[in-house]
């Protein structure tokens, strides 16, 4: 079946540090891959997505590249801000299952000033 | 568009009472999802609908939970009777065809 594995958290960084949150997946065929972000007290919001191999999704300074050879979709940002503190979820979907998402466990990020 | 609307935002009830959570998806979306989020279990998919028809309810914890979608613009998640272990944040999300899901702000349920 489909599954998503994220690096364990929590992650604590200082402002302007480089961020990487690892995500690997297991799925047959060619899933679409997503990163969602959840700010405190809010619902999940789509951060970025990639629908085919070698695609790079980017938004708000975050980016992730769909690597089929390593079945990975790692999230990166060159310089984090305090406002990036949130929980980040990696997810995949298969066309054969409509838009049902398989989520990773989530990674809590705290950025200190 | 106003996005996915959930009500109430907060609900506090006593054990044994019936609880009804409501969701209005984004207009034109044909998928609707109900999730539960807790610290212990993370984000769990409870049930989802396609064109108002339940497709997979395997995540519904037990018979105390039921969900309906009488039309394309409204869905309910009901818990009867409620128990303290049902305390969680319940999210509704909607999507169009196989595109990304849009989440509502959630309902924080506390059962005492």
**Nearest chain A Cα distance for residue B50, angstroms:** 9
Average pLDDT value for chain B? 94
Q: How confident is the model at residue B31 (pLDDT cuts 50, 70, 90)?
A: very high
Q: What is the pLDDT of residue B42?
A: 87
Q: What is the pLDDT of residue B76?
A: 98
Q: What is the pLDDT of residue B98?
A: 64
Q: What is the pLDDT of residue B96?
A: 87
Q: What is the pLDDT of residue A94?
A: 80
Show the low-confidence residues of chain A (pLDDT under 70): 95-98
Q: What is the pLDDT of residue B1?
A: 64
Enumerate the H helices of A1-111 as residue ranges.
Answer: none
Chain B residue closest in CA terms to A91: B100
| Contact residues, chain A, for B93 at CB < 8 Å | 43-44
Strand pairing class (A11-14; A107-112):
parallel
Q: What is the pLDDT of residue A53?
A: 92
Say whether residue A9 is in contact with chain B using an 8 A CB cutoff. Answer: no
Q: What is the pLDDT of residue B9?
A: 96
In chain A, the DSSP E strands lie at 3-6, 11-14, 19-21, 23-26, 32-38, 44-50, 56-59, 62-65, 75-77, 86-93, 101-103, 107-112
Closest CA to A21 of A110, A82, A94, A97: A110
List pLDDT tens digits, range B35-78: 999 988 889 999 999 999 999 999 998 899 999 999 999 999 99
Chain B residue closest in CA terms to A101: B101
Listed as own residue / partner, the contacts of A61-65 with beta carbons closer than 8 Å and 24 or more positions apart are A62/A35, A64/A23, A64/A33, A64/A35
Q: ω into residue B8 within 30 of 0, thus cis?
A: yes
Chain A residue closest in CA terms to B104: A43
Closest CA to A107 of A26, A13, A11, A31: A11
**Nearest chain A Cα distance for residue B100, angstroms:** 7
């Amino acid at each position: 079946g489909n599954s998503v594995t994220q690096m364990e958290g929590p992650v604590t960084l200082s402002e302007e540090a480089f961020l990487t949150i690892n995500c690997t997946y297991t799925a047959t065929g060619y899933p679409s891959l997503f990163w969602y972000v959840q700010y405190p007290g809010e619902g999940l919001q789509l951060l970025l997505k990639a629908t085919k191999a070698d695609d790079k999704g980017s938004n708000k300074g975050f980016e992730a590249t769909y690597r089929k050879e390593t079945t990975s979709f790692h999230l990166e940002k060159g310089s984090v801000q305090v406002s990036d503190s949130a929980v980040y979820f990696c997810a995949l979907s298969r066309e054969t299952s409509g838009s049902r998402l398989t989520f990773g466990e989530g990674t809590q990020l705290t950025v200190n000033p | 568009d106003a996005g996915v609307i959930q009500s109430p935002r907060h609900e506090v009830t006593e054990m044994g009472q019936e609880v009804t959570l409501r969701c209005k998806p984004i207009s034109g979306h044909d998928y609707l999802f109900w999730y539960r989020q807790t610290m212990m279990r993370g984000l769990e998919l409870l049930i989802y609908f396609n064109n108002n028809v339940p497709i997979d309810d395997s995540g519904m914890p037990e018979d105390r939970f039921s969900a309906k979608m009488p039309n394309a613009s409204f869905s309910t998640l009901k818990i009867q009777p409620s128990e303290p272990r049902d305390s969680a944040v319940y999210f509704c999300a909607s999507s169009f065809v196989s595109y990304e899901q849009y989440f509502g702000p959630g309902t924080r349920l506390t059962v005492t």
